Amino acid sequence: MSAAMLILLMLAPVVSAQTDIYKILETPFYDPDSVGVDQCGVTSNYPGSGPIYGPYFPQVSDINALIASIKKYIESTGLNSPLDAYAADIVNFGKQYNVNPALLVGVGYKETRLGTVAPGTPPQYDFWGDLNDSHKPVSFSDYPSAIEAYYKNLRTNSAYAKVWAEGDAASIDEIITIATPPGIDGNQTAEYIAAVKDIMHKILDGLVTSSTSNTAPATGAQAGQLDLSQVVKDYGLQSVEVKQVGGAVVGSVNESTPPASPASVMKLIVADAFLSTNPDLSKSWTVKSSELSNEGDSWSVGTKVSLQTVLTETLNINSSNEGANILMDSIGGPSATNKIAQSLGYSQTDIVTYYHSPPKGQNKTTVTDLTKAIEKIYTASGAGYQVAKAALKENYFNINPAPEAAKWGMNGQVTGNSGVFDVSGTKYIITLYINQTGKNTEIKGATEDILKLLGSNPSGITSDASTCPGATSGNVIQTILKYAWPQPHTPAVQPTPAYLEATKAAAAAGKYTGSSGGGYPGIDCGAFVTRVMQDSGADPTYGGGGNTITQIEYLNNHSSMYQKVTFNSISDLQPGDIAINTVHTFIYVGQLAGFSGNIASASEGTTAPAADTASTSYLKEFTFYRLVKNG
C-alpha cells in the first residue's frame, strides 16, 4: 500500500456511497451488535462463518489456536515486533468486527514491518501506515486502540461496503485493490496482494478444519462455493474463474496467478482500454511496419483500414495480432495501454510489448482480470462496445452449449479461453488456462464440465432456502435469483433475460405486468412481486391482478395464507417476506451469497428488478406479510 495505503479510505469519515445500491442505506454498513441473517432469517454471516482465506473472520475450530498462530508468525519474522504481545487483541477485535485477523497482520507487515518502523512505533502506534489528507501519520493512544480503529473503519467506510455485501464471495484482492489503487504513488498492487495472501496462508494453513478445507485447495484459494477441484485435476488447468454476470465469483482456483502467457485472450483488456478512450471507429489507420506481427498478418504496410474493422478482426475468431498492435498504437503504444488498463482496475495485468513473433517481452494477466474484461464488453452499452460484443460471437473450441461471447487464445506456451454462457437463464463467465499448447479438447471438456456443475446448481451457491420456515420461501428466493439482477445493472431499466421472458408470457396471457419502461414490460414494483409469487408457485393468484393498493387488499383478504409480521428490527424478518405500502412493494431476501443487497426491488418505468439495500428506518415505512400457507 506504500504511501497510498488507505489515504482516505480506512480512517476517513464515513460518507454516503454514490451507487444506487446504497441510496437508502442510512446507518453504518456494519454494526457488531447486528450481524445479519441467512436465507432462513437465522444468524448467517457471523464472525467465524467466513471462508478461511477470505476477508471475513474465518471458520476455525479453535480461537486460541488462531491467537497462537498469529503470535508464532510475528515471532518468526525476527523483527522483535511489539505486536506479538497483542495477538489476542488482533483476534478478538477481528471477531467483534467480523474481519480476518490474518489480513490485519499481512498488511501490518507490508506497511511498517509489524510496527517496527515509523509510524508504527510509539508514540504513533500506526502500524498500518494510514495517512490523512495532509499525508501526516495518524496517532493512537496504544496498539489496542489502533487495532480496533483499523477494523472498525474497514467495516464502516462506504468505500468497502460493496465488497462486504458480496458475503462469502468477498475477496482479499478487492479489499486491497480499493485500499492500494494501482498506479498511485508507485503502488504495485498485484505484488502487494500476493504478499499479504502469502502471510495469511502462513498463519492459517494449519488451522483449516474439515468443514472449510474445500475452500482452500493446495493449488490456490477457491472463491465462492463451486467446487472446481476435480475439473482442475481432470484437465490440468493452470487457473480458472467462474463468475455470474453482474454478480459474484462463484468458484476459482489460482485466480491471481498469471499463466505462462496470456496469449490472445488478453486482447479483451487491450480492447477495453482502447474503447475507454471513446475512439472514432470510422477513422482510417495506415498500417506501420512495427505493427506487423510476422505471423499471419491481416494487412500489409501502408494499408488503410478503419478502426472498427481493426477492432472486429482483433476480437473475432481470426484474432488478429496485427489488429491488437494497431489498437495499442492508436492510444499511445503498449505502455500507454497498460497505464489505461491499470486505471480501469486491471491490477493483475502488465502490458509491456506488442504481439510479435517471436515475442520481444512478456505480457501477463490473470483469469480474474480477463473475466472482468469480457464482462465489461458483454454488458456495456456504448456503440463501440456493441461492435466488440458482436465480434466475440465465436466458438473456437466447439463448446456445447455455445458461448454467447468468447475469446480464445493459444501460443507455444498456453491454451486459454474466456466465455459467457447461459445456464437456465443466468449468465456465467468461465475463464480458464492450461499451461500447454494445443489443448483444445481439454479446454472444451473443462468448460462443459463446469457448465454441468452450474446446471446442477444454477444459482452457483449452496444456500438452500427450500428448508426455511414458511410455505414456499425457497421457490420464491430461487425465482428472485432468476428475475432480479444480483447488483445494480446498467442500463437500470433493462431486465434479466428470465424476467423479460416471464413478463412477455404474462402479458400474452392477460396477466398483470404493471408499467413498462425502455420498451420492456413489467418494469414495475408490483408487477415484479406478482410475477415472483405467481411464477414460483408460491401463490398462483397473488395480487388480485392490480397495483399495490389492490395487492394490499389481496393480502388482507387472504389472512389464512399471509401472516402480518410485527417489525421492529431486521431480526424479525425472513427471506421471502413481502414489504408493501400504498406506493411501493418489494421482497426481503436477507443475505444471499452473490446477491448485493437485502431486498429485491423494481421501480415504475425506470428500474428493472435488482438487488438493493434497505436500512431499518426505511423498512419501517412498510407493512410486512409472510406466506404461511400455499395458495
- Residue 207 shares a structural domain with residue 113: yes
Distance of CA 540 to the CA centre of its chain: 34
Among residues 383, 404, 433, 392, the alpha carbon closest in space to that of 245 is found at 404
CATH code for the domain in which residue 430 is found: 3.40.710.10
Please report where in the chains the cell 460493496 appears, as a residue.
162
Quote the pLDDT of residue 136.
55
Q: Grid coordinates standing for 129?
A: 501506515
**Do 198 and 73 share a structural domain?**
yes
Kindly state whether residues 529 and 586 are assigned to the same domain. yes
Task: Provide the sign of the torsion angle of the four alpha carbons 249, 255, 256, 259, taken in this order.
Answer: negative
Domain end residue (candidates: 425, 456, 487):
456
Over 70: is that where the pLDDT of 402 sits? yes
Does 483 lie in the same domain as 451? no
- Domain identity same for 524 and 438: no
The percentage of the chain sitting over the pLDDT mark of 90, rounded to a whole number, equals: 48
Same domain (yes/no): 424, 345:
yes
Sheet holding 426-434, edge to edge: 249-253, 239-244, 426-434, 415-423, 405-410
207 C-beta neighbours (distance < 10 Å), count = 19
481 touches 459 (CB < 8 A):
yes
Are 588 and 447 in a shared domain? no
What cell numbers appear for 512 in the block? Answer: 398483470
pLDDT given at position 316: 94
More confident position, 429 or 343: 429
- Is residue 74 in a domain? yes
The mean per-residue pLDDT over the stretch 418-433 comes to 92
Flag whether pLDDT at 20 surpasses 60: no
Q: Per the domain annotation, does 324 fall within a domain? A: yes
Which pTM was predicted?
0.47
CA 485 to CA 302: how far, in whole Å?
47
More confident residue, 265 or 130: 265
User: Residue 532 sits in a domain of what CATH number?
Assistant: 3.90.1720
CA 157 to chain centre: 18
Gap between the terminal Cα atoms of the chain: 56
In a domain, 241, yes or no: no
What is the rounded CA–CA span in Å between residue 449 and residue 411?
24
Structural domain including 484 reads 465-627
The answer, yes or no, to whether residue 465 has pLDDT greater than 60, is no
Q: Looking at 157-161, 238-242, 303-307, 417-421, which range is the least confident one?
A: 157-161
Q: 195 and 169 in one domain? A: yes
Domain boundary among the residues 436, 456, 476 is at: 456
Is residue 324 a contact partner of residue 333, using CB atoms and an 8 Å limit? no
Dihedral (CA of 125, 129, 132, 134) sign:
positive
Residue 609 covered by a domain: yes
Q: Residue 268: what residue type? A: L
Quote the pLDDT of residue 63: 80
Which range, of 128-137, 153-162, 389-398, averages the lowest pLDDT? 128-137
What would the mean pLDDT of 458-469 be, rounded to a whole number? 37
- Which of 456, 485, 501 is the endpoint of a domain? 456
Residues 479 and 432 in one domain: no
**Banded pLDDT at 222 (limits 50, 70, 90):** very low
Q: Residue 10 is part of a domain; what is its CATH number?
A: 1.10.530.10
Structural domain contains residue 244: no
Whether 431 has a pLDDT exceeding 80, the answer reads yes
- Write the Ramachandran bin of 322: left for phi over 0, alpha for psi from -120 to 50, otherwise beta: alpha
Coil, helix or strand at residue 180 = coil
Q: Quick check: 404 and 427 in contact, CB under 8 A? A: yes
- Tell whether the model's pLDDT for residue 203 goes beyond 80: yes
pLDDT band at 49 (very low <50, low <70, confident <90, very high): low
Listed residue (454, 39, 66) closest to 243, CA to CA: 454
Alpha-carbon dihedral of residues 589, 593, 596, 602, nearest 10 degrees?
-40
Give the pLDDT of residue 10: 41
Tell me the pLDDT of the chain averaged across its residues. Answer: 81
Query: How much is the pLDDT for 385?
Result: 93
Mean pLDDT of 604-618: 90
Q: Is the pLDDT of residue 84 over 50?
A: yes
As beta bridge partners, residue 284 has 306
pLDDT for residue 187: 66
CA pair distance 477, 532, nearest whole angstrom: 9
In total, how many domains does the chain have?
3
Classify residue 239: in a domain, yes or no: no
Say if residues 418 and 377 touch (Cβ distance below 8 Å): no
What pLDDT sits at residue 184?
A: 65
Q: 354 and 495 in one domain?
A: no
Rounded to an integer, the average pLDDT of 318-324 is: 93
Q: How many CA atoms lie within 13 A of 574 on its CB side?
A: 22
Give per-residue pLDDT as tens, 359-395: 888 999 999 999 999 999 998 878 999 999 999 999 9
Q: Is residue 226 part of a domain?
A: no
Q: For residues 373 and 568, give the distance between their C-alpha atoms in angstroms, rounded to a whole number.
A: 43
Measured CA angle at 224 (ends 213, 256), to 5 deg: 90
Q: Which has the higher per-residue pLDDT, 135 or 438?
A: 438
pLDDT at 145: 87
Whether 424 maps to a domain, the answer reads yes
CA 112 to centroid of chain Cα atoms? 30
The reply to whether 421 and 475 lie within a common domain is no
Q: Is the pLDDT of residue 38 over 80?
A: no
| pLDDT tens digits for range 535-549 | 888 888 999 889 999
Regarding whether 443 and 506 lie in a shared domain, the answer is no
